[in-house]
Amino acid sequence: MKAELREIPKLELHCHLDGSVSLKYLEHQSQQQGVSIQMDKVTVDQHCQSLAEYLQSFDEILKVMQTRTSLIDAVVDVAEQATQDGVKYIEIRFAPAFHQAQGLQIPEILTAVCEGAAVAEHTFDIKVRMLVCGMKHHSEEMNRAIFDSLRDHKTLEDYIVGVDLAGDEAASPTTEHEALIRYAQQQGLNMTLHAGECGCAKNVYDAVRFGAQRIGHGVAAFKDDDVLAAVKAQDVLLEFCPQSNLQTKAIESLDSLDLQRLLKENIAFLINTDNRTVTQTNLLDEYALLLEHKLLNWEDIAHINLKAVDYTFAHADTKQWLKQQFEVEVHEKKTAGEF
Residue 138: which of 99, 178, 98 has the closest Cα? 98
* DSSP annotation string for 7-55: HS-EEEEEEEHHHHS-HHHHHHHHHHHT----GGGT---TT---HHHHH
Length of the chain: 339
Side-chain half-sphere CA neighbours of 322 within 13 A: 27
Q: Beta partners for 135? A: 166
Catalytic residue among 12, 197, 239, 286: 197
265 included as an active-site residue = no
Strand boundaries in the chain, DSSP class E: 10-16, 87-94, 127-135, 160-166, 191-195, 214-217, 237-240, 269-271
Question: In whole angstroms, what is the distance from residue 313 CA to residue 162 CA?
Answer: 7
Question: In whole angstroms, what is the distance from residue 193 CA to residue 116 CA?
Answer: 24
Q: Which residues does the annotation mark as catalytic?
A: 197
